[in-house]
Structure 1
Amino acid sequence: MTSGLRTVLAGAAALTLTGALAGTAHATPPDGVSAVILSRTTIGDTDYILREITIAPGGSTGWHYHDGTLYAAFRQGQLFHYDANCEQDGAGGPGTPIVERAGSGNVHVERNLGTEPQILDVLYVLPAGSPLSEDAPNPGCPFE
């Protein structure tokens, strides 16, 4: 791993919403995603987590958001990051940095539309004890 913190979008929780009422939108689960935590520390009331995320070709993080800011960079593959307006809000190849803002108003998804695995380095800066991500329903996009 390089000395610079290169981080990528990723990290969707593997749980789907269960027990929801009929007619309620459901979260979109991740597909083809694996991850390894490389480092974790808590300073004061903030967790800093460095994670390597791999998304297989055809895979997706599922729609989600984070309770804190994420800083990411692609190490391998192409970036296909979409916001809640169904617009691609990130594109590029290896070394491309992205920042994911905190909060439920920043729902997004990363899709691997390429032919090789995406490998991302992600630094999560979260309120202590927060989950890595929060599942969210598809905001109405024709994919996922």
Structure 2
Amino acid sequence: MPHVQTITLPPGAGTGWHYHPGRVDVVVLSGTLTRTLHDGRTVVSRAGESLVEEAGPRHVHQGRNLGTDPVVLIASYAAPQGRPLAVPVPEPAWSRSAPADG
């Protein structure tokens, strides 16, 4: 059975770098979520949009609220039994040398 939770990121907040042991389906209820993906791409998702975060350590990413309004998300996690919903990881070396976006 999936685990569903509401996540709120105030302006300036972020999730930190992490990956998910299982797939996560997300709906952005309000605000604008900016994600940096494992391959360096930046993806912006706005209120009313949905996204999928694939499972596994090859899909490291972070989410940030670079806007002035709170980002509110509904996330449905398909984590395997006994596994955490997210696994924190160190910031990738390539990210520390990348120019700031925003």
Same-fold call, TM cutoff 0.5: yes
SS at structure 2 position matched to 1:105: helix
Cα distance in 2 for residues equivalent to 1:123 and 1:57: 23
The alpha-carbon deviation at position 112 of structure 1 amounts to 0.5
Report the number of matched residues.
Answer: 96
Cα distance in 1 for residues equivalent to 2:33 and 2:64: 8
Cα distance in 2 for residues equivalent to 1:132 and 1:53: 13
Cα distance in 1 for residues equivalent to 2:92 and 2:49: 26
Cα distance in 2 for residues equivalent to 1:56 and 1:132: 21
Cα distance in 2 for residues equivalent to 1:109 and 1:93: 16
The alpha-carbon deviation at position 87 of structure 1 amounts to 1.7
- The reply to whether residue 95 of structure 1 matches residue 95 of structure 2 is no
SS at structure 2 position matched to 1:73: strand
Identical-pair percentage: 35
1:123 is aligned, of 73, 76, 100, to: 76
Q: TM-score, normalised by structure 1?
A: 0.64
Question: Match of 1:116, as an amino acid?
Answer: D
The alpha-carbon deviation at position 86 of structure 1 amounts to 2.5
| Structure 2: unaligned runs, 5 residues or longer | none
Greater C-alpha radius of gyration: 1
SS at structure 1 position matched to 2:56: coil
Aligned partner of 2:9 in structure 1 is 55
RMSD: 1.2
| Structure 1: unaligned runs, 5 residues or longer | 1-41, 43-47
Cα distance in 2 for residues equivalent to 1:65 and 1:75: 22
SS at structure 2 position matched to 1:126: coil
Q: For the Cα contact (< 8 Å) 1:74–1:97, is it kept in 2?
A: yes
Q: TM-score, normalised by structure 2?
A: 0.88
Aligned partner of 1:78 in structure 2 is 32
Quick check: which one's helix share is greater? 2
Question: Match of 1:91, as an amino acid?
Answer: V
- The list of structure 1 runs, each at least 4 consecutive aligned residues, that deviate by more than 4 angstroms after superposition, is none
Cα distance in 1 for residues equivalent to 2:23 and 2:45: 20
